[in-house]
Amino acid sequence: MQESKRLKKRSASGGLKAVLFDIDDTLYSTSEFAARARRNSVSAMIKTGLRLPHPLVMKELVEVINEFSSNYEHHFDKLLLRLPRNSYRTVNPIVLVASAVIAYHETKFKELVPFADVPSVLKKIAQTRLTLGIISAGLEIKQSEKLIRLKLYKFFHPKAIFISDQIGINKPNPKLYRRVCADLKINPSQVMYIGDNPVSDIDPANQIGMITVLVRRKGKHYQEAGLSRPDYVINNFQELWTILKKEYL
């Protein structure tokens, strides 16, 4: 049944024209990077004068992030409001916040890298007739910065980068995916979308008739299930390239 669905999509497409990607936990390990950066930030706060055990502070920081979302810009300010004041009475709290922010960004400068197989496969796809692009949820500056720091921006068509905050429609609303196809002037059946989240990436893309690829890299959505099945499931981008060569190029 899955194969018949795939063939139906392929026959309706009239030929694949675009391959679009999610960013987080698809092009790089967001989960691993974020965990390292947060640990380094807490260590910096303790080194600067915060007098609490690292595990306790980390637990509070994770709660702040879960409550205010990962895109909130004042995690460390909120963190200090939740900690006993006597734990940082010998240091100005804004200095603690600054030390955490610096540590986070230093981790970003040094350790934000794509999955090892991603650049070579994107380079191969970019040399074909296919348009490469992005559909990503998040803040426009933050998500754009990731593409630059990952050194992947050069592979994508500049008019095919779509970030939810810039468009005003967020995942998993299928309107985001319809808008992307409309702007690119491509039928959804002629677009392949690759993401790691069954609910936010695969379900809405399936809903409008895109060809869908679920990446299974053991990120935070690894064990989640959506309402629909992807057309393909891959463990790495080499498998993606094999699918493209065999069935679409």
**Residue 5: pLDDT band with limits 50, 70, 90:** low
CA atoms within a 13 Å half-sphere pointing along the CA-CB vector of 47: 11
The string of DSSP codes covering the chain is: -HHHHHHHHHHHHTS--EEEE--BTTTB-HHHHHHHHHHHHHHHHHHHT--S-HHHHHHHHHHHHHHH-TT-S-HHHHHHHHS-GGGGTTS-HHHHHHHHHHHHHHHHHHH----TTHHHHHHHHHTSSPEEEEEE-S-HHHHHHHHHHTT-GGGS-GGGEEEHHHHT--TT-HHHHHHHHHHHT--GGGEEEEES-IIIIIHHHHHTT-EEEEE-SS-TTTT---SS--SEEESSHHHHHHHHHHHT-
Q: CA dist 123 to 30, 126, 231, Å? A: 21, 5, 23
Q: CA 76, 111, 34 angle in degrees (round to 5)?
A: 40
Rg of the chain (C-alpha set): 20
pLDDT tens sequence across 28-75: 998 888 889 999 999 999 999 999 999 999 999 999 999 998 878 899
Confirm if 72 and 139 have CB atoms less than 8 A apart. Answer: no
pLDDT computed for residue 31 by the predictor: 81
What would the two tokens of residue 77 be?
């300010």
CB count within 10 Å of CB 242 equals 12
Q: How confident is the model at residue 222 (pLDDT cuts 50, 70, 90)?
A: low
pLDDT at 8 over 80: no
Cis peptide before 172 (omega within 30 of 0): yes
Average pLDDT over all residues of the chain: 91
- Give yes or no for a contact between 27 and 118, defined as CB atoms under 8 angstroms apart: yes
Q: Model-level pTM?
A: 0.82
| Confidence at 1, pLDDT banded by 50, 70, 90 | very low
Can you tell me the mean pLDDT for 114-134?
97
141-195: pLDDT as tens digits = 989 999 999 999 999 999 999 999 999 999 999 999 999 999 999 999 999 999 9
User: What pLDDT, on the 0 to 100 scale, is given for residue 108?
Assistant: 81
Please tell me the distance from the alpha carbon of residue 221 to that of residue 37, in angstroms, as a whole number: 20
- 87 neighbors 52 (Cβ within 8 angstroms): yes
What is the residue whose two structure tokens read 């409001």?
81
Structure tokens at 214: 């679920």
